[in-house]
Amino acid sequence: MIDNILILVAGFAALIKGAGWLVEGATNMARRLGVSTLVLGLTVVAFGTSLPELAISVLAAVEGSSKIALGNVIGSNFANIGLILGISAIIAPIIVRSSTIWKEIPFALAAAVIMLLLTFDTRVAEGTQDLLTSRDGLILLIVFVMFLFYIFSVGLSERRSFFHRDKEFKVETEEAHMKWPAIAALIIVGIVLVFGGGELVVRSSLALALVWGLSESFIGITIIAVGTSLPELVTTLIAAYKGHSDIAVGNIVGSNIFNSLFILGIASFIHPLEIDSHLWVDGIFMVGLTVLLWIFSGYRHRLGRYKGIILLVLYIAYICYVVWRQGLIYL
């Protein structure tokens, strides 16, 4: 068992380091191409920090551990809003721009609802089994492509000739002028570490679940979801502390959209995902927390300390519920 725990820690370390290098390389590439801060947060940074979820969900789907794949996505989305944005808002107030309130957050909410409706056939479509099929995955990917078209239009309208001259987000000269070979090396090595670490995490998590008698969905929602959300946590905390609200909020909203549409779309397209019945409740919680984020963001366009405390308390309460449901604590 100790060996599996050490492998799990090593896998998470590789995931986090690889994601960090990948984000650094992709961010420098975006800066050289003149991408705005909002687009950077919603796409490059969000995709980079969501790569651990992508690696684990795809590998879990390939190996037939579908409950880990879906539990990882739902748990990560919940952690992104409740844990990460909650802590970030407690540390420093986060300003939310109008376009994020009326466009990006509603899109994240729509993505969560679509995912929920496609996933639970027995409750929505009177099916005989809760299953996320390749057809469902294709629908999720089509909606994701629509999101990319929207972001592309935003990027065209907000594109600046030299991103590193933006007064809102200055960078060091040498960082802004990172050479293309260095950028390519960071991206390639980052991808290798992310997927290699993901493989270690999936295998060790399955072994620990077997030893401890825990369900795959529980492992996905708790241990794996928090572990794969660490890149988002670090990125968002740094962005919030430095006052880069577009990066902080865009990273979380973009990551949730990537998780719900792209990651689950790819995973289910590769292999149909069998759904744990408990995940229906978890999906409703995820949608409800997204609605609450929308309400909080719309009120004065600001996520302050008290709102952050509420989000964090709700996340802790949700985790306590999941632990109680697993039978690890008794009331």
Kindly compute the dihedral angle of the four CA atoms of residues 133, 279, 55, 209, in this order, to the nearest 10 degrees: -120
pLDDT at 18: 79
Distant-in-sequence, close-in-space partners of 209: CB < 8 Å, separation ≥ 6: 215, 216, 218, 219
The yes-or-no verdict on residue 317 having pLDDT over 90 is yes
Grade residue 261 by pLDDT with cuts at 50, 70 and 90.
Answer: very high
The yes-or-no verdict on residue 83 having pLDDT over 70 is yes
Domain that holds residue 147: 2-326
- Residue 274 falls within a domain, yes or no? yes
* % of the chain at pLDDT higher than 70: 82
* CATH code (residue 230): 1.20.1420.30
- Residue 193 falls within a domain, yes or no? yes
- Which helix (H) or strand (E) element contains residue 131? strand 131-132
| Residue 226 amino acid letter | V
- Residue 319 falls within a domain, yes or no? yes
- What average pLDDT does range 285-293 have in this prediction? 94
**What does pLDDT average to over the chain?**
80
Q: Which of 165-169, 198-202, 233-237 has the weakest average pLDDT?
A: 165-169
Pair 99, 307: CB distance under 8 Å: no
- Residue 331 falls within a domain, yes or no? no
pLDDT at 126: 59
Domain count for the chain: 1
The distance between the two most distant Cα atoms of the chain, rounded to a whole number of Å, is: 60
pLDDT at 112: 92
Pair 84, 256: CB distance under 8 Å: no
- What average pLDDT does range 155-170 have in this prediction? 51
Grade residue 124 by pLDDT with cuts at 50, 70 and 90.
Answer: low
